Structure 1
Amino acid sequence: MPANKTALVVRGGWEGHRPVEATELYIPYLKANGFDVRTEESTAVYADEAYLAEVDLILQCVTMSTIERAEFRGLRLAIEAGTGFAGWHGGIADSFRNTSDYLHLVGGQFGCHPGIHPFEDGNSETDNFVPYTVEISDAGRAHPITAGIEDFDLVTEQYWVLADSYVNVLATTTQRRREFDPWHREVVHPAIWTRDWGRGRIFVCTPGHSLDVLQDGNVRTIIERGLLWASR
């Protein structure tokens, strides 16, 4: 398919989320859907406001890290003008913790991922893996990103998300209370959401810690649809 849209893939940050390998799973899909794709290994490109103004979709996979003031300004202005912004897991929901305006932009932030007892000396990433269900919301059943997808189960990191009421929640997860947990009741968190920001659209999928999760049929379908939905 001839390219008629532009996508910018920005990746980096904590290597544990495999930013290169993870984004490479979706670049062929973008190209097959008519996007000319440019990849960058840092957020420096965000400071190029003239270029970003022409981008239809930004796929970001940058966990933690930091962002310079001029870079965030370029990103924010582009989204407000109509550039789509999308990603999964820590690559979008745990980026730039020290930039509060970025957290405001995305609408939901990773707080933690409760796993084994906090005083146990675990040394494996699987210590943070728990079985949980991604539950499609009523709004999600009618939304093009999640329509036709039933609730599904995963065993991976379950994000405890700090979110505001301006997110459009397409799916949730319920954090169970185990006997050693300090919270007193089950807690429901957004797991997949969208956010309208200026003329731009934002899409966030919290599942996606590892490549096997990103290749789960339900997760992959949701992310692929989310990328197209968010695009200008």
Structure 2
Amino acid sequence: MTDTKKVLIFKGGWDGHEPDLIAERFAGIMEKNGYSCVIYDNQEVMLDLELVMSQDLIIPCWTMGEIDTKVRENIVKAVAAGTGLAGCHGGMCDAFRNDVEWQFMTGGQWVSHPGGDGISYEVNIRKGSSPIVEGLEDFPVCSEQYYLHVDPAVEVLATTRFPVVPYYHISNKVVDMPVAWTKFWGNGRVFYNSLGHHDDVFDKSPSAQILMERGMLWAAEGKQYAAEHGLTTERFENTAKMY
């Protein structure tokens, strides 16, 4: 392990999610905590496996679009080896809709936001679920309310109640939809927060930023933990390929 803690942020895709502002915000948060951050506006840089493997944390800010197969393979390998993965809203879990391994790794995929932007709803903290939410209380948000298809293996840290507005899904039972979660991918730690439709959500709802900061730091610490405990990827590498 080197003394320099590194974060790679890559941004692009649909501009409506303000990837430039989100990337700058997250870089500032991580730099405040002693990390060196580099923001890229392309995926090509991640064709360099050595570069990707050297990161402590990768933050995608790339809504929709497509991902180069080799780039995704490199990220998958790096996270499995201990590099963290963390992101928010569509920048991580509405990225690369056609890539099911990306969805497998991240733990969920956006499918709808009934009512669109400007919906008022409550984020309910699942107390005791993780140190990431310690001391946080339920808080209101006015933004898009994400309905996601979620990996049952995730550890849910916060939820929101559906339905809030009428749509076809109201014929079903009321559900508590995950808002934030953690999971593992090999030796790597994965964190997701569905808040963040616009950058100012983190100013209007300060608890959303606290949640994001703590989640990114938790994910970034996984590589050091794996190294200190002698964790390798050998136990994962003989599994069958997905395709």
What TM-score, normalized to structure 2?
0.85
Match of 2:198 among 190, 193, 210: 210
Following TM superposition, by how much is the alpha carbon of 1:146 offset from its aligned partner in structure 2, in angstroms?
1.0
Aligned-residue identity in percent = 36
The ranges of structure 1 where at least 4 consecutive aligned residues each deviate by more than 3 angstroms after the TM superposition are 177-182
Contact 1:47/1:75 (<8 A) preserved: no
CA RMSD of aligned residues (A): 1.5
Give the AA of the match of 1:44. E
| 2:136 match: secondary structure | coil
CA distance in 2, matches of 1:154, 1:44: 36
CA distance in 1, matches of 2:123, 2:79: 28
Following TM superposition, by how much is the alpha carbon of 1:29 offset from its aligned partner in structure 2, in angstroms?
2.1
The one-character-per-residue Cα deviations of 1:48-99 (angstroms, maximum 9, x if unpaired) are 1111111001111100010011011001000000000001000001000001
CA distance in 2, matches of 1:183, 1:219: 27
The unaligned stretches of length 5 or more in structure 2 are 224-243
1:186 aligns with 2:188: no
Change (3 A) 1:177 1:58: closer
Contact 2:121/2:164 (<8 A) preserved: no
CA distance in 2, matches of 1:34, 1:197: 25
Give the AA of the match of 2:148. V
Following TM superposition, by how much is the alpha carbon of 1:214 offset from its aligned partner in structure 2, in angstroms?
2.2
The unaligned stretches of length 5 or more in structure 1 are 116-126
Give the AA of the match of 2:177. H
Match of 1:159 among 146, 153, 161: 146
CA distance in 1, matches of 2:199, 2:58: 20
CA distance in 2, matches of 1:103, 1:152: 28
What TM-score, normalized to structure 1?
0.89
1:221 aligns with 2:210: yes
* Correspondence 1:1-232 to 2 at 5 A: 4-115=4-115, 127-140=116-129, 143-176=130-163, 178=165, 181-184=168-171, 185-215=173-203, 216-231=205-220, 232=223
Partner of 1:119: none
Change (3 A) 1:177 1:40: closer
Following TM superposition, by how much is the alpha carbon of 1:107 offset from its aligned partner in structure 2, in angstroms?
1.1
The one-character-per-residue Cα deviations of 1:141-178 (angstroms, maximum 9, x if unpaired) are xx221110001111110000101211110001111265
Contact 2:92/2:192 (<8 A) preserved: yes
